[in-house]
Amino acid sequence: MVDVQEKLLPVIPDANQLTHRIRQLLQAARLFEIPLHCSEQYPKGLGSTVPELADLLPAPREKLRFSAAACLSWETAANTVDSRTRIVLTGIEAHICVQQTALDLLAAGYRVIIPIDAIASRNQLDWETAIRRIENSGACITTTESILFEWCEVAGTPEFKQISRLVTEKQ
C-alpha cells in the first residue's frame, strides 16, 4: 500500500470508499497469508498511515522518492510463498507515487495488478490518465472484489465465507 496518510487522504474524493476497499484487500491478504508492505511519503510533513488501515499493516517504510519500489522489500515478498511475482498495488496518489511505483515494478519484471477502486487522486483527470498509462505499460487493471474472489478460487470453504462477508459489509 502506497502513502495512504493522514494529510493526503482528506483531499481525496470518496476517501471513505477508498479506505474501505483497501481495508478489504488488507484483511483478505492476511487471511490468505499474502505478504503486506506499506510506504509513507515524508511522514514528518504528510503524517502517518491512517489509523483505519495501519492496524492491518506492518511498520511502514518512510520514503522521499515518489516510487515506493526502492524502499519496500519487494524481492523478499516475491521470494516468499510460491515465489510470488505478482504485486497488488493500492494507495494514493494514482498519478504520482502509485504510478511511479507501478512503472518501476513493471520494469523490474513484476506483474502489477491495480484494483481501480483502491487507488485515487485528488483530481479525476489525473486518476484517469494514471490508469491509462499504468495499463498501457503492462499492468492489469481490475477491481477489489475481483481480486478477492481470485484469491479465494473456490466456493464452499471457510475462506470463501469470510470473503463473502467482507464484500457484503457496509462501509
Q: Is residue 27 part of a domain?
A: yes
Task: List pLDDT tens digits, range 33-71.
Answer: 999 999 999 999 999 999 999 999 999 999 999 999 988
The answer to whether residue 3 is domain-embedded is no
Q: Which has more pLDDT, 80 or 71? A: 71
One-letter amino acid at 142 equals: T
Residue 2 lies inside a defined structural domain of this protein: no
Q: Which residues of 47-63 are buried (b: 16+ CB within 10 A; e: fewer)?
A: bebbeebbebbeebeeb
Return the axis-axis angle of helices 15-31 and 144-152, rounded to nearest 10°: 10
What distance in Å separates the CA atoms of residue 87 and residue 96, rounded to the nearest whole number?
A: 18
Assess if residue 4 is contained within a domain.
Answer: no
- pLDDT, one tens digit per residue, over 4-13 is 999 999 999 9
User: Domain span at residue 164?
Assistant: 9-75+83-168
Query: So which residues are the catalytic ones?
Result: 3, 63, 97
- Distance, in Å, from the CA atom of 134 to the CA atom of 121, rounded to the nearest integer, reads 14
> Which cell numbers in the block locate residue 169?
459489509
CATH number where 156 lies: 3.40.50.850
With respect to residue 139, please indicate whether it lies within any of the assigned structural domains.
yes
Average confidence (pLDDT) over 15-43: 97
pLDDT of residue 78: 47
Tens of pLDDT, residue by residue over 129-155, are: 999 999 999 999 999 999 999 999 999
Split into its structural domains, the chain has a count of 1
Q: Would you say 88 and 54 are in contact if contact means Cβ atoms under 8 Å apart?
A: no
Q: What is the DSSP letter of 31?
A: H
**What does pTM read for this prediction?**
0.92
Q: How confident is the model at residue 80 (pLDDT cuts 50, 70, 90)?
A: very low
